Amino acid sequence: MAVVSNLNPSHVMTEVVFLGLGVLIGAFLGWWVGGKNGGRRIQEQLAAFAQGLQGGNLPDPSRTSPDEAPEIREIRGLLSREWSHRGPDHEDMTRRALGRIALFLRHRVESPLLAGLEGGGKELRDGADEALAGVEDLEFFLEELPGPSEPEMRNLAELVQEVTREFSRQSTVLVKVQSPERPVGVRIEPEPVKDAIFLVLHNAGEFGSGQPVEVTLGAEAGKARLWVRDRGPGFTEEALLRAMDPFYSTSPDGLGLGLPHARQAINSQGGEVFLRNGKGGGAEVEIQFPLAGS
């Protein structure tokens, strides 16, 4: 399993997401007020700034140029002030976070908005809907996990069926579920667990080359065990080590928060998450909980 920083990714993300949104708004206003050239200029500078952060370049206010957009100049100065009294772990996390969020905003929010403005009419409405979905994804990860409450006795098989039905409504990827006839009893808070299972399914669907995802539930040795397997290329050696690191992703426009958030949710319910490659290929994520009464 990967060693994860004690920093809460939600805390770091909360600090930097509003900076990214500020750049997005600046780019949108640049397009709206200054025309295509103004918006494109901010887009290009945003891309270069995000790539520099991901490459390890620290935000040095003295490196600004006269034609740099004021939104990016403000972010550069703010990050420089913040990093001056933070440790290296926070510095590295914030760099990765802002780089990921900036690229995510460009792909999932800014691009559909600009495409909609160019097209007008229905294209504008569709672009706004797509951009809103991107913002909602950000909001999901910004939310803190709910505080502890009284766990409930639940049949994990029923929760899995609920989640797979919801996933199938949102995705064209086929999910095949195998579960025992007898209930698989666990004591958990259901909502965080359902969120975690959904995120694992989403990850399998995204990286599984569109092939069916297999979900298998079992109970043995005092453990409820849930396997989610895809038919994609599987985890690279680096991904096996780092997939649980916040803001690590092999997808160019991914946030890198799905699996870390899923593990945090599962751990909060006394469970564990394991990553491996399947014997026949593809990636495999296993979730374990203590069986109720064991």
DSSP 170: H
For residue 246, give both structure tokens. 């916040």
List, edge to edge, every strand of the sheet that includes 213-220.
175-178, 213-220, 223-229, 283-290, 272-277
Q: Kindly state the tokens that stand for 111.
A: 């691009």
- Phi, psi for residue 273 in degrees, rounded to 5: -125, 135
Gap between the Cα atoms of 206 and 196, Å rounded: 15
| pLDDT score, position 126 | 61
Q: Which of 273, 271, 182, 269 is nearest to 219 (CA)?
A: 182
Which residue in this structure is represented by tokens 């510095």? 91
Q: What's this model's pTM, rounded to 2 decimal places?
A: 0.62
The domain spans of the chain are 9-142, 152-290
CATH superfamily ID and name for 152-290? Histidine kinase-like ATPase, C-terminal domain (3.30.565.10)
Tens digit of pLDDT at every position of the chain (294 positions)? 333 334 444 444 445 555 555 555 445 445 444 444 555 565 566 656 655 655 555 556 566 667 776 656 666 665 555 554 455 555 555 555 655 565 666 655 656 666 655 665 666 566 555 555 555 555 555 555 555 667 899 999 999 999 999 999 999 999 999 999 999 999 999 999 999 999 999 999 988 888 999 999 999 999 999 999 999 999 999 999 988 877 777 776 666 778 888 998 899 899 999 999 998 889 999 999 999 976
Query: CB–CB of 47/106 below 8 Å?
Result: yes
- Eight-class DSSP state of 61: G
pLDDT at site 85: 46
Q: What CA dihedral angle connects 234, 237, 243 and 247, to 10 degrees?
A: -120
